[in-house]
Amino acid sequence: MKLYQAPRFSYLKIIDNDIIVAPMSCPLNYDIIYFDNIDGMFSVCKDIEGNIIKLAAWTKVKVTGKKKFEAQLNNKNETLLKR
């Protein structure tokens, strides 16, 4: 589904290969985001660290759960510990 078709306040996995992020938006570092709403051509989303990400409204996504969203932070911490 397209991002603009997704339910508000849901956790989404980005499945698009051609990702467009609005200028002045934080970079996208995770493939699962929390979707808040659509704001014109772009969306208002957050990553696990609370950074606001403004993805294009036509980005292809799939609904997922909160556990997978939170697991990203655990995976990042494990990677940092291994270094």
> pLDDT tens, 40-52?
999 999 998 899 9
53 pLDDT above the threshold of 90: yes
Q: Please state the domain count of the chain.
A: 1
What range defines the domain where residue 67 resides?
3-82
pLDDT band at 72 (very low <50, low <70, confident <90, very high): confident
Mean local confidence (pLDDT), 67-74: 82
Spatial separation of the C-alpha atoms in residues 60 and 32, rounded to whole Å: 12
Q: Which residues contact 28 (CB under 8 A, 6 or more apart)?
A: 14, 19, 21, 47, 53, 55
Q: What is this structure's pTM?
A: 0.84
> Residues 36, 50: contact at Cβ < 8 Å?
no
Mean local confidence (pLDDT), 66-82: 72
